[in-house]
Amino acid sequence: MITTPFSFIASGNCILFERGRPLFVDIEEETLNLDADKVEEKLESMSREELEKVKALLVVDAFGQPADWDRFKEIGKKYNLKLIEDSAEALGAEYKGKRAGSLGEVGVFAFYPNKQITTGEGGVLVTDDEELARLARS
């Protein structure tokens, strides 16, 4: 799974906890979000065997600013990747009229003590995909 190196440790750990391997790709200097061009460059540089192992993009919306979701949706479609949006730092933000957390196939929000809404721990997963919702509940 491809994700950003510029995030809370949980972004990488959630991949490791599911026995995956995080592939860190650099961020945009201006936004501090995952750089879509660099993600595509990384994917283009991979062998077919390596590409088959990449299943998803975990994109973190940094500091209240959603990432370039038009580009990430193009990349996801081109490479058949699931799009997971971590909007813990973008609660209430919008991208082209859509709320952060609703831009990927799955949106996640954390409630750790340093977040906008805190419950001590925990989080929430949102999706409008019935199959993914069923899987998450299982």
User: Where are the chain's structural domains?
Assistant: 2-137
Q: Give the strands of the sheet with 82-86, arranged side by side.
A: 23-24, 2-3, 56-60, 82-86, 106-110, 123-126
Question: Counting runs of H as helices and runs of E as strands, what totals does the chain give?
Answer: 5, 8
**Who's near 30: CB < 8 A, 6+ residues apart?**
none
In this predicted model, what pLDDT tens digit does every residue of 31-66 receive, in sequence order? 999 999 999 999 999 999 999 999 999 999 999 999
- End-to-end Cα separation, the chain, in angstroms: 22
Q: Is the pTM of this model over 0.85?
A: yes
* Residue in 136, 65, 58 with CA at minimum distance from that of residue 100: 65
CATH no. for 2-137: 3.40.640.10
Contact (CB, 8 A) for 66 and 88: no
In this predicted model, what pLDDT tens digit does every residue of 77-125 receive, in sequence order? 999 999 999 998 898 999 999 999 999 999 999 887 666 676 777 889 9
**Who's near 37: CB < 8 A, 6+ residues apart?**
71
